[in-house]
Amino acid sequence: MRYELLGPLRVSNGRESHLLSAPKMEMTLAALLVGAGRVTTKDSLVLELWGDRPPRRAAAAIHVYISQLRKFLAAAGTDPAYTIVTKPSGYLLRLDGASFDVTEFQDALRDGRAQQAAGRYEAALDSAECALSLVRGPVLESAAEGPVLTTFAAWAEEERLAALELSVEARTALGRHREVISLLGTLTAQYPLRESFYSQLMLVLYRSGRQAEALAVYRAAQQVLRAELGLEPCRSLRRLHNAILTADRLLDLPTAS
């Protein structure tokens, strides 16, 4: 059995995938997956599904959703009584023996960071790309507004961007600068307050012999940060700008000794 939450929620049994069409059931299973291995309380589910305006029979509705989820999981091939366990305060979802894309993503990103730190850039790139391949889109198709799922969705997006940064960093360390220039141009436009993307773009442009364009990226970042936040670029971005101005040899791609 496989659960996938990095995109529209999907449950697969190796032969076919199963999707939930009811938004409230989808959010209930998603909340249980986020808290897999721990008890998700009934109160937290009520808050997740209805916020501070629950219906009068919210507890009964959750009981129905759990019952329907057990039938859904049984159809997908699990033992529903074992997978979703009723506890005095709520419900516990067990992942024993099942794969989960969130766990795989975390493992791949963790390995990529370790490989990068050790100077194994090809392996770091492979792990970063593996992590990115697991992200199929925004978390859930329904508009989840509860604290658990909104926090999880924000975490997933932040980690996706971290995986992108790692992929770019590994490609840059391998001297594959032209591969990422277009991507970084898109990323700086999409995430204009994320200074790391400006930094990566400036470096690859400089290493590609495009010093003037690298300096123009800094000026653009400076204008955006001043206008949006009233701040100057961070210290590392300012240092990179100064290094590019002086053509500091430390910016050159290290050569194998």
pLDDT, block means (10 residues), the chain with 257 residues: 94 88 93 96 96 93 95 87 92 93 98 97 98 93 82 96 97 94 96 97 96 97 97 96 95 69
Specify the domain boundaries for CATH 1.25.40.10 within the chain: 178-257
Q: What's at 216, amino acid-wise?
A: A
Specify the domain boundaries for CATH 1.10.10.10 within the chain: 14-98
**If you count them, how many residues does the chain have?**
257
Class in CATH terms, 14-98: mainly alpha
Identify the CATH homologous superfamily for domain 178-257: Tetratricopeptide repeat domain (1.25.40.10)
Identify the three-state secondary structure at position 73. Answer: helix
Question: In 42-117, where do the E strands start and end?
Answer: 84-87, 90-93, 99-100
Instruction: Name the DSSP letter for residue 84.
Output: E
Tell if the pTM clears 0.85, that is, is over it.
yes
154 CB contacts (<8 Å, ≥6 apart)? Answer: none
